[in-house]
Amino acid sequence: MNKRIWFKENLTIEAIEKWSADTMVDHLDMHITEIGDDFLRGDMPVDHRTVQPQRRLHGGASAALAETLGSIAANLVLNNETHVAFGQTLFCQHLRPAVSGRVSGVARAIHLGRTTQVWEINIETEEGKVVCSSRLTMAVVRK
């Protein structure tokens, strides 16, 4: 079993969803679907909100899901009374198209430092094929 990395013991999907209400997360129908000991999983639809004119998942939508999952995860590691994390750099490699259904992303920490965090986020189709491989660097700032 992996070591639990989250700051709060009683972390729930419902609390995260409430925190994300009335944001782009809501607008693009992104949902957190699983909280593991050391990862966060979420998904979004491939539909009229997230596709390019060729009706394939827009790279910007993949980037939005990657940054959303990594950013939420980064802030869940911190004591939010004293610190907050902000996206600093996002690198995405778009590997194959997604044309329907939902895509799912998993954020896993690569580095959890005092002033920076690095997260890897892979986004897959419902068939388990990787659509986008991402790396997100977060700046950790004292409030």
Q: Tell me: the pLDDT tens digits for 117-143? A: 999 999 999 999 999 999 999 999 999
Q: Tell me: the pLDDT tens digits for 69-102? A: 999 999 999 999 999 999 999 999 999 999 999 9
Confidence grade of residue 2 (pLDDT, cut at 50, 70, 90):
confident
pLDDT at 28 (0 to 100): 97
**85 in a domain, yes or no?**
yes
Q: Residue 62 sits in a domain of what CATH number?
A: 3.10.129.10
Per-residue pLDDT for 67 more than 70? yes
Per-residue pLDDT for 1 more than 70? no
Nearest to 35 by CA among 67, 76, 64, 86: 76
> Which residues form the domain of 118?
13-142
Confidence grade of residue 14 (pLDDT, cut at 50, 70, 90):
very high
Nearest to 68 by CA among 34, 30, 21, 36: 30
- Write down the catalytic residue from 9, 14, 67, 120: 67
Q: Tell me: the pLDDT tens digits for 45-61? A: 999 999 999 999 999 99
**62 in a domain, yes or no?**
yes
pLDDT at 91 (0 to 100): 98
**How many structural domains is the chain composed of?**
1
**2 in a domain, yes or no?**
no
Contacts of 73 (CB under 8 A, 6+ apart): 39, 40, 107, 109, 119
Average pLDDT over residues 20-36: 96
Per-residue pLDDT for 9 more than 90? no
**72 in a domain, yes or no?**
yes
Q: Can 124 be counted among the known catalytic residues?
A: no
